[in-house]
Amino acid sequence: MTLAYRGTHYHGWQWQYANELYKGPPPPPGHGIPTVQEKLIRAFTYVLGHPVQVVGSSRTDAGVHAKGQVAHFDTFREHIPPEGIRRSVNHQLPDDILIRAIEPAADDFDAILHTRSKRYQYAIWNAEDRPLFNADLYWHRWQTLDIAAMRQAAALLVGTHDFTSFAKAGHGRQSPVRNIHSLDICQRGPKIVIGVEGNGFLWRMIRIIVGTLVEVGLGRYGPDRVQQMLKATHRPDAGPTAPPQGLYLQWINY
C-alpha cells in the first residue's frame, strides 16, 4: 500500500509494540504515545478481523510527514477487493492518515528490503512573516538565503560518499556509505523546496543536509566546506539538524 500522513500529531512511524521482540498482547487503545503504525495496525485489524502486522519502508521521525510511504501487510482475506479494504480502513483511520492505494504484491515482497530508491522533500518558508496557516508544514527561515551557493554545496553532496558527518550517532546501520542520486533546490515565492533522492539515508541525514545547506545560504561558510565535512566523518563538523516539520517522504521506488 501507498499512504500519506501529516506527522504533526504523531511520535513518528514506529509503534513500540509492533517490534518483533515484544511478545505480549497489544495494549488497549490510548495506551502509550500515538504513532502512525499503531493507528494503521488497529484499523487493519478491525477491518480484516484478524491480527495484522503493518511493515513500513521508512521509519519517519516525530513530526515528519509522508506523501508516499509504502508498507506491506499479510492477510488471508483474498476475497475482499483491495479497493474495498482501502475504503474501509480509511474510514477507520484518523483524518491525518490516508491510504492512497492498496495492491496485491508477490508473496516474498518486503517493503523494507526491496526498496531501490527514495525521495524526500524539505519545505522552507522564506519570508519575513511566518507561515500562518501551515506552521507545522514548513521550516520558517526569514533571512535572505543565497540559493546559488546552496546549489553549489548541494552538487558536492551528490554521488557516493561516507555520510557519517551527516548522520545522528547510533544510526545502527552497518555502512555509513550512501549514494545521493540528485539534490535539487526549487524556489517559488516564499517557498523553497529541497528534493533529495538516493538509494537510502542514514538517521536524520536529510535534516542535517538541509541544516547545513541553510548555513551555506546564510553565508556562515562557503559551499566548498561540505567536502571537508564529508572527509571528517565526524558529526559535529557538519551543520545543525533542521526541524522535522518541513520534511516529507515523497516516494519510494521498488
In the complex, which residues of this chain contact a copy of itself (CB under 8 A)? Answer: 4-6, 65, 95-98, 100, 129-130, 132-135, 137
Smallest gap, in angstroms, from Cβ of residue 5 to a copy of itself?
7
Query: Which residues have C-beta within 8 Å of that of residue 47, sequence separation ≥ 6?
Result: 85, 88, 89, 92
C-beta closer to a copy of itself: residue 6 or 118 = 6
Determine the Cα–Cα distance for residues 41 and 204; give it in Å rounded to an integer.
Answer: 25
Exactly one of 61, 107, 136, 146 is catalytic; which is it? 61
Smallest gap, in angstroms, from Cβ of residue 130 to a copy of itself?
6
Query: Which residues have C-beta within 8 Å of that of residue 117, sequence separation ≥ 6?
Result: 181, 197, 198, 199, 200, 252, 253
Q: In this structure, what are the phi and psi dihedrals at residue 189, rounded to the nearest 5 degrees?
A: 60, -135
Smallest gap, in angstroms, from Cβ of residue 65 to a copy of itself?
7
C-beta closer to a copy of itself: residue 67 or 114 = 67
C-beta closer to a copy of itself: residue 223 or 246 = 246
36 closest CA partner among 14, 58, 4, 65: 14
C-beta closer to a copy of itself: residue 96 or 146 = 96
Determine the Cα–Cα distance for residues 181 and 89; give it in Å rounded to an integer.
Answer: 35
Determine the Cα–Cα distance for residues 254 and 252; give it in Å rounded to an integer.
Answer: 7
If you search the block for the grid coordinates 518558508, which residue do you land on?
125
61 catalytic? Reply is: yes
Smallest gap, in angstroms, from Cβ of residue 97 to a copy of itself?
8
Catalytic residues: 61
